[in-house]
Amino acid sequence: MPGTKATTTDLVTHYSAQLASDLERNAREQDKVRAELEQLEARLLALRHDHAVLATMRQALESGIPVQQQPAFPGAGAPGRGAGRRKQRTPTLVSLIRDQLAERSDPCSAGEIAQTLREAHPDRDIKTTVVRTTLEGLVAKGGARRIKEGHAVRYVGT
Render pLDDT for 58-110 as a digit per residue (tens, 0 to 9): 877 777 655 555 454 455 444 445 555 556 678 899 999 999 999 988 999 99
Question: What is the tens place of the pLDDT at every residue in 33-55?
Answer: 988 888 888 888 888 888 888 88
Q: Can you tell me the distance from the alpha carbon of 67 to that of 135, in angstroms, rounded to the nearest whole number?
A: 16
Average pLDDT over residues 1-29: 86
Bridge partners (DSSP) listed for residue 153: 148
CA-CA distance, 116 to 146, in Å (whole number)?
19
What pLDDT score does 76 carry? 47
Tell me what the mean pLDDT of segment 105-132 comes to. Answer: 93
SS3 label, residue 56: helix
Q: Does pTM surpass 0.75?
A: no
Q: Which of 147, 141, 143 is nearest to 157 (CA)?
A: 143
